[in-house]
Amino acid sequence: MFLTKSLRFAPSVLRLMSKSMPVCSATIPEKSDLEKYRSKLYYQSMKRGILENDIIIGGFAQQQLKNFSEEELQAYDKIINGEHMEWDLFYYVSDKKPAPPELENCKVFQKIKEFVKKANGLERH
């Protein structure tokens, strides 16, 4: 009973509020293309095909992507979205299998491998 009585005033209240209360005029700043790209890569890093890569690649992205230049982001994109299968990528970054030369010669890939070594306690700070 109470609900039906209070609902009959809803259109009047909404009409009154729309006239008397100004809509927030603050604009939310648009993200730059680089920030959108960084956000996309971060999301892709957290949602890999296997849990091991979610943890490794996602953890790396969480710590490092915010500091990457555009060139480093492009190199990172090629690593995580390239031709390598998820399990191969896991084996490469954990040194279970030798990585192809194009990955071994990539500075960003070396940063990922260093991150894995530090996470495993194999390297001292």
Concatenate the DSSP letters of all residues of 1-62 into one string: -HHHHHHTTHHHHHHHHHHHSPPP-PPPPPPPHHHHHHHHHHHHHHS-SSHHHHHHHHHHHH
Q: Which of the listed CATH numbers 1.10.357.10, 3.40.640.10, 3.30.2350.10, 1.10.150.250 matches domain 33-119?
A: 1.10.150.250
Measured distance CA(86)–CA(81) in Å, rounded: 10
User: Which residues of the chain fall short of a pLDDT of 50?
Assistant: 124-125
Answering whether pTM is above 0.85, one says no
Show me where the domains of the chain are located: 33-119
pLDDT at site 13: 53
CB within 8 A of 57, min separation 6: which ones? 45, 48, 80, 89, 93, 112
Please give the pLDDT value at position 125: 46
* Helices and strands in the chain, H and E counts: 8, 0
